[in-house]
Amino acid sequence: MSSQPLVEVKHLKQYFPIRTGFFGTTPLKAVDDISFHVDEGETLGLVGESGCGKTTAGRTLLHLYKPTAGEIYYDGNLITEKNIKNYRKEMQIVFQDPYSSLDPRMTVADIIGEPLDIHHLYSSKEERKGRIRELMDLVGLNSEQANRYAHEFSGGQRQRIGIARALAVDPRFIVCDEPVSALDVSIQAQIINTFEDLQKKLNIAYLFIAHDLLVVRHMSNRIAVMYLGRIVETADADEVSDHPLHPYTVSLMSAVPVPDPKLARSRQRIPLEGDVPSPLHMPSGCSFRTRCRYATEKCAQERPELKEVSPGHYAACHII
């Protein structure tokens, strides 16, 4: 493996202008200065409460939203608005909702074939057809059903169609935005296995966004924890889960309901008080301080930066 990460994000910001009152706008800091990297063939899990900016981070990274500030590198090359089209093939996205992300009037062949058309990835009709069949096989869809419409498929099958479509252009990196959240447990397991098999076979890297922390841990090499637009902790997946450092991560991990009654009885939840503040009124200093039991004077004044606490384990908190 090369030492250079496949994807690297530096000081990325995404501010949405929100109209407030009659005059002017206030920036909603959906993503506020985050940096991370994903190595080739690796999975980075991205977790955090609803609204903390996971989707925005994933979409901005792909230039689906124009970044407010910051840099994105692919294979060491700076990605800009101008050159992004050259990298679209390399970086794909799979969405959460298999029901709404596919056009019900298109056949499976149309859906999977569309990116092939856009990127001119075949020289004959036969080749196109063969490639679609290949992709369907790859994700465990019956290629006999290529001419059926998306709405004729179950949720799990539709999610596979979405994955096949993302794979059509041979990407090396896929942003998976809650790809299993809408599915039943048993179907979830099928899709998770599909992602794992594809990674092994094709060495694809994933940015894996999900709210089920056990699923994220299962899938990821490393995990980054977001809170209000910032990354507050990142480390090896087991390390973050078993030895969280940041007070937010500690609460988050203790709140995960575990499907094991004995363990559940022996565990102690560390409850978080209050609600997430509005991203329009971010607290000064550490954005977690309004809910943090350890907050001090300094936390209100100074924003804690991510620092390496032990090799590969980073946390942004003044008391660590």
Partner 1 sequence: MTERLLEVRDLYTSFFTDAGEVKAVNGLSFNLDEGEVLGIVGESGSGKSVTAYSIMRILTDPGIIKSGKILYKGQDIVSIPDKEMRKIRGAKISIIFQDPMTSLNPTYTIGNQIEEAILLHTNRTKKEARERAIEMLKLVGVNEPEKRVKQYPHELSGGMRQRVMIAMALACEPDILIADEPTTALDVTIQAQILELMQKLQKELGMAIIMITHDLGVIADMCNTIIVMYGGRACERGTADEIFYNPCHEYTKGLMRSIPSVVGKRERLIPISGTPIDQLNLPKGCAFAPRCDNAMRICMEAQPDEILINKDHSAACWMNVKKVYEEEAGKEKA
Ligand X SMILES: Nc1ncnc2c1ncn2[C@@H]1O[C@H](COP(=O)(O)OP(=O)(O)OP(=O)(O)O)[C@@H](O)[C@H]1O
Cβ-in-10-Å burial (0-12, 13-18, 19+) of 319 comes to: middle
Q: Does 186 bind ligand X (CB under 6 A)?
A: no
Residue nearer to ligand X on the CB measure, 71 or 212 = 212
* Count of positions on this chain that bind ligand X (CB under 6 A): 13
**Interface pick for ligand X out of 279, 285, 287, 295 (rule CB under 6 A):** 279
Is the separation of the CB atoms in 94 and 174 below 8 Å? Answer: yes
In the bound state with ligand SF4, the residue whose beta carbon lies nearer, of 113 and 304, is: 304
Q: Which is nearer to ligand SF4, 153 or 288 (CB)?
A: 288
* Contact set with partner 1 (CB under 8 A): 49-50, 154, 184-190, 192-193, 196, 211, 213-215, 217-218, 237-238, 241-242, 251-252, 254-264, 269, 271-272, 274-276
Q: How many residues bind ligand SF4 (CB under 6 A)?
A: 12
Minimum separation from the CB atom of position 317 to ligand X (A): 20
Query: Per rule CB under 6 A, is residue 55 in the interface with ligand X?
Result: yes
Q: Enumerate residues 187-216 that contact ligand X by CB under 6 A.
A: 211
**In whole angstroms, what is the distance from residue 117 CA to residue 119 CA?**
6
Rg of the chain over all Cα atoms, to the nearest angstrom: 21
The pair phi, psi for residue 220, each rounded to 5°, is -100, 150
Q: Which of residues 91 and 286 has its CB atom nearest to ligand SF4 in the complex?
A: 286
HSE-CB for 212 with a 13 A CA cutoff: 19
Applying CB under 6 A, the residues found at the interface with ligand SF4 are 247, 286, 288-289, 292, 294-295, 299, 304, 317-319
